[in-house]
């Protein structure tokens, strides 16, 4: 009998970040997947929203030569009249990459790479010694990693075979059946809580929070270690009422919660949208320095053993 062919599982990767210290304990490799189940107005990673590889204009590199227009088979590209930089009509683009190949200034880049579990693990294993010495490991983030649950499951299983700690950074907006695939291979869940008011959550993130809160409770009941991550967003969730309700909810999750991370909003992300030729839908105001976040800690000191600012 011939040996059964090896099954390959592929994911669409946004980025792989080495030596991260903000995505779980110790030094970690963070694998950012493409695709998100929410649509937060303040999103810091707009390039991760779409699940599939896509062409993104990097405006600052554009020389306005117009070569991309000449080769586009669907006329999906137009040049801005004032800046002579490309705009891509996503409804027409078929991601054929002819424009990327024609661009000599790297102003059009393909964002998102299809990789197998083995290919990702090859990168992860390069820093295994650092994980061992710092009690670090592998974190999968996004986008929303649960938009690709089968890949995350396979990747975590491979990591556990190498005795590498695994952390799942999730917004909670995914079917419970998908979490059940991934959680048996997960050591830590970094769980986002954005707003306790479901109407405001819908307004700023595109969906309500009912499923998110249900999933948080189910994960906690399984006894899996959790850290709750709370973005502090001016004009969205920065109210006394929201902090009190969030703290009360976290208390109910019990001993599974190992800590809380308050993540301050920073307006620099507006520049990323501009570089990619995208409109930033959230008002760009002043950022929140860590010292301005520290008074919020008082709401959470009884909800978890540790409360930090900045993750």
Is residue 228 one of the residues assigned to a domain? yes
Is residue 3 one of the residues assigned to a domain? no
Average pLDDT estimate for 221-227: 98
Percent of the chain with pLDDT over 70: 94
Rounded CA-CA distance 34/49 in Å is 6
Rounded CA-CA distance 186/157 in Å is 9
pLDDT for res 1: 37
* Residue at a domain's end among 69, 89, 111: 111
Is residue 5 one of the residues assigned to a domain? no
C-alpha radius of gyration, the chain, whole number: 21
Domain match, 66 and 207 both: no
Question: What CATH number is attached to the domain comprising 85?
Answer: 3.30.70.20
113 pairs with which residues across the strands?
13
Domain match, 66 and 136 both: no
Domain match, 77 and 135 both: no
Is residue 39 one of the residues assigned to a domain? yes
Domain match, 226 and 166 both: yes
What's the pLDDT tens digit per position in 272-305? 777 676 778 777 666 666 677 888 999 999 999 9
pLDDT for res 2: 42
Domain match, 94 and 219 both: no
Average pLDDT estimate for 72-81: 92
Is residue 131 one of the residues assigned to a domain? yes
Q: Which helix (DSSP H) or strand (DSSP E) does residue 152 occupy?
A: helix 149-161
Is residue 4 one of the residues assigned to a domain? no
Is residue 167 one of the residues assigned to a domain? yes
Number of structural domains in the chain: 2
Domain match, 259 and 141 both: yes
Rounded CA-CA distance 229/24 in Å is 11
Is residue 295 one of the residues assigned to a domain? yes
Question: What CATH number is attached to the domain comprising 34?
Answer: 3.20.20.70
pLDDT for res 287: 66
Question: Given a cut of 80, is residue 271 above it in pLDDT?
Answer: no
Domain match, 32 and 180 both: yes
Domain match, 269 and 180 both: yes
What's the pLDDT tens digit per position in 32-47? 999 999 999 999 888 8
* Residue at a domain's end among 72, 90, 111: 111
**Is residue 83 very low, low, confident or very high in pLDDT (cuts 50, 70, 90)?**
confident
Q: Which of 152, 137, 128, 139 is nearest to 12 (CA)?
A: 152
115 pairs with which residues across the strands?
11
**Is residue 209 very low, low, confident or very high in pLDDT (cuts 50, 70, 90)?**
very high
CB 229 within 8 A of CB 190: yes
Percent of the chain with pLDDT over 90: 75
Domain match, 98 and 117 both: no
CB 94 within 8 A of CB 128: no
What's the pLDDT tens digit per position in 134-147? 999 999 999 999 99
* Residue at a domain's end among 66, 86, 111: 111
Domain match, 98 and 214 both: no
Question: Given a cut of 80, is residue 31 above it in pLDDT?
Answer: yes
The overall average pLDDT reported for the chain is: 92
Domain match, 64 and 39 both: no
The total of other beta-carbon atoms located within 10 Å of residue 50's CB is 18
Global pTM value: 0.91
Domain match, 70 and 194 both: no
- For residue 188, give its domain range: 10-50+112-309
């Amino acid at each position: 009998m011939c040996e059964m062919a090896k099954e390959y599982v592929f994911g669409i990767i946004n980025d792989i970040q080495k030596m991260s210290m903000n995505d779980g304990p110790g030094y970690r490799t963070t694998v950012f997947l493409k695709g998100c189940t929410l649509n937060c107005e303040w999103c810091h990673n707009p390039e991760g929203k779409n699940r599939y590889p896509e062409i993104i204009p990097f405006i600052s590199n554009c020389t306005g030569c117009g070569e991309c227009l000449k080769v586009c088979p669907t006329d999906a590209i137009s040049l801005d009249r004032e800046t002579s930089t490309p705009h891509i009509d996503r409804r027409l683009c078929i991601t054929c990459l002819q424009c990327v190949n024609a661009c000599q200034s790297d102003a059009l880049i393909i964002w998102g790479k299809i990789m197998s579990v083995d290919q990702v693990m090859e990168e992860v294993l390069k820093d295994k010694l650092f994980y061992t010495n710092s009690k670090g490991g592998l974190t999968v983030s996004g986008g929303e990693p649960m938009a690709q649950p089968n890949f995350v499951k396979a990747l975590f299983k491979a990591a556990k075979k190498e005795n590498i700690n695994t952390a799942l950074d999730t917004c909670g907006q995914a079917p419970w059946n998908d979490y059940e695939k991934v959680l048996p291979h997960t050591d830590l869940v970094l769980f986002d809580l954005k707003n306790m008011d479901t109407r405001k959550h819908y307004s700023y993130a595109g969906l309500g929070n009912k499923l998110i809160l249900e999933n948080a409770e189910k994960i906690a009941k399984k006894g899996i270690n959790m850290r709750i991550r709370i973005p502090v967003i001016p004009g969205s969730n920065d109210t006394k009422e929201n902090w009190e309700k969030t703290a009360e909810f976290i208390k109910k999750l019990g001993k599974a919660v190992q800590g809380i991370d308050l993540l301050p909003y920073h307006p620099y992300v507006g520049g990323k949208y501009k570089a990619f030729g995208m409109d930033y839908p959230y008002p760009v105001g002043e950022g929140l320095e860590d010292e301005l976040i520290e008074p919020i800690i008082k709401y959470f000191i009884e909800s978890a053993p540790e409360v930090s600012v900045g993750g």
